[in-house]
Structure 1
Amino acid sequence: MKKTSKKPVRLSRARYVTSKIGKTKAIESKQELRKYVPTTKRMIKETLREMLNRYKMVYIKPNVGMFGNGVIRVEQAEEGAEKPYSYQSGVRLKQFNTFDEMYASISKVTKKRHYLVQKGIHLLKYKGNRFDLRVMVQQTPLQKWETTGVIGRVAHPKKVVTNFHNGGTLKPVETLLHKYLPASKRKVYVKKLHSLGTQVAKAINARYKGVKEIGVDVALDDKLHPWILEVNTSPDPYIFRRLSDKRIFAKMRRYAKAYSRL
């Protein structure tokens, strides 16, 4: 019997990668990282129905997009609710009697663009508002991967996204974790996030050789398990200027200049 060779993975030299599903697949190719990736599929009517039945809350997001634009939170309430299906885009919440009615409405928003549906993670909260973390990872001048900073992003009270450019507020990660971990364990936990960041960068770089920096958006659930929501290959380093430790942004800027970003 003739042996068939395995189809090789096509590597890209692109510096910036726009496809969220492409970056997700790059991360999932590393077995040790799969446990950090929420179930993510291309969004069609049946995948949305299936995942909503399974998880009760999901996010749908454009395959190509920035700053949290176009992200929609979709929920299915328990049986007996008057209007069990709902979604929120921006600050507006819409409720529906049936899944089909809701999907018809969502389709008017998404139109013919490619969207993904992702298992919803119930984020930890700071003063009643959801937050997640941005982990910045860069290539050093010696072309080694290094996590150069972690910052927290607290969602606007009326919005479903945490992005600073979409109304979110920036906070030090230590401030956000204060309620959930004692000081000694916070340092250890942040080091784990640094390690996770470099692992993700190496996974992305294995498939996309031109990438020089990434911003990893990480959600924390009630067990403090980190979930990789998505990866940005053109992250905004300037948000880190808001941290009191000015050495963090200074290093980021030095590294970015070395690979001609700034």
Structure 2
Amino acid sequence: MPFRRIQSKLLKDRAMRRSPLLHSHLPETLPYHPDVLKRMLDRHAVVFVKPDLGSQGRGIVRLKRIKHGGVHISWGLSSRRVNRKYMVRALHQRLRPYQPYLVQQGLQLTKYHHRLMDIRVFLQKPGSKWLISGKVVRVGAAGRFVTNYSQGGRPVHLSKVLDSIYRHDQQRTEAAIQKIDQLAYHAAAALSGKFRGIRVLGIDIALDRTGRIWIIEANTRPGTQLFKQLKDQSMYRTIVARYQRIKYMNRIHRRK
């Protein structure tokens, strides 16, 4: 079952969190409940409320502590300020009833040209080993706190962005790329160890302002549009070729 999809962000987070190598690189993430939200906002200046089964950055709400007991609530390109005692009521106006949500620690992320960014690592398993088929930076659209392509994010080559962030320090750039690869492979091992049949993964990785590397979430059916939009099509061609290999291996398996 090479294209098995695991929708729940919480299930994937728990699978990765079992790994001692990944635990310190995962932001605090808990099932949503009003009391959980309040405790999380006590611990963190910013939190995100996300649909547990959501995708493409849709339905995410950001809550940020502000002075004098206020909370700044943002969704899409809209926002409002409320008193903290009315926070839950205001939030629930943005959430869909009867759908599961999670609360995730917000991070002080590094920006690229004053816009939020993260890194999509695309992994595939056409044989017995996971392979990184591509890495690209997703730069968010102006005014948005998500970087998804469907929400206006644009792709930029990873080396170009890291070279800018680390001020042309090649040693730091290479060390960061090595760490990103290491975390992506560990995440793939943790997820495929828990959920048999996963063959494709998109691991979303972010850098905070201190240089710490975080795994934001994992996607078991990642899109390829980011790579297709790059002028250099080599990573996109690799992804397509490996998809074909996975499909071929699946046909062989079914015949047995």
What's the TM-score, normalizing by structure 2? 0.90
Counterpart Cα distance in 2 of 1:67 and 1:26 = 21
2:149 paired residue among 158, 164, 170: 164
- The answer to whether the 8 A contact 1:13-1:209 is kept is no
Give SS of 1:228's match. strand
- The answer to whether the 8 A contact 1:87-1:95 is kept is yes
Report percent identity of matched pairs. 26
Q: Residue 62 of structure 1 aligns to which amino acid in structure 2? A: P
Mapping 1:220-259, distance limit 5 Å? 220-259=207-246
Counterpart Cα distance in 2 of 1:46 and 1:125 = 31
The CA deviation string for residues 147-192 of structure 1, in whole angstroms up to 9 with x for no partner, is: 1211111111111111011111211112222232213331332122
Let me know the Cα RMSD of the aligned residues. 1.8
- The answer to whether the 8 A contact 2:112-2:165 is kept is no
The CA deviation string for residues 209-253 of structure 1, in whole angstroms up to 9 with x for no partner, is: 011010011111012211111100000123212334322111111
Counterpart Cα distance in 2 of 1:250 and 1:216 = 19
Mapping 1:184-203, distance limit 5 Å? 184-203=171-190
- The answer to whether the 8 A contact 2:47-2:104 is kept is yes
Give SS of 1:102's match. helix
1:49 paired residue among 34, 38, 60: 38
- Using a 3 Å threshold, how does the CA distance of structure 1 residues 130 and 229 change in structure 2: closer, same or farther? same
Counterpart Cα distance in 1 of 2:3 and 2:114 = 40
Residue in structure 1 matched with residue 80 of structure 2 by the alignment? 94
Mapping 1:122-201, distance limit 5 Å? 122-140=108-126, 142-181=127-166, 182-201=169-188
- The answer to whether the 8 A contact 2:3-2:199 is kept is no
* Structure 2 residue 10 is matched with structure 1 residue 25: no
* Structure 2 residue 56 is matched with structure 1 residue 67: yes
Give SS of 2:185's match. helix
Mean alpha-carbon deviation: is it higher for 17-26 or for 177-186? 177-186
Counterpart Cα distance in 2 of 1:196 and 1:90 = 30
Mean alpha-carbon deviation: is it higher for 187-196 or for 143-152? 187-196
**Displacement of 1:115 after TM fit?**
0.6
Mean alpha-carbon deviation: is it higher for 66-75 or for 166-175? 166-175
Residue in structure 1 matched with residue 251 of structure 2 by the alignment? none
Aligned residues: 245
Give SS of 2:21's match. helix
**Displacement of 1:64 after TM fit?**
0.3
Give SS of 1:258's match. helix
Runs of 5+ in structure 1 lacking a partner?
1-11
**Displacement of 1:62 after TM fit?**
0.3
Residue in structure 2 matched with residue 219 of structure 1 by the alignment? 206
- Using a 3 Å threshold, how does the CA distance of structure 1 residues 138 and 176 change in structure 2: closer, same or farther? same
Counterpart Cα distance in 2 of 1:27 and 1:135 = 16
Residue in structure 2 matched with residue 8 of structure 1 by the alignment? none
What's the TM-score, normalizing by structure 1? 0.88
Q: Residue 35 of structure 1 aligns to which amino acid in structure 2? A: S
Runs of 5+ in structure 2 lacking a partner?
249-256
- The answer to whether the 8 A contact 2:117-2:140 is kept is yes
Following superposition, which runs of at least 4 residues in structure 1 exceed 6 angstroms of deviation? none
Residue in structure 2 matched with residue 114 of structure 1 by the alignment? 100
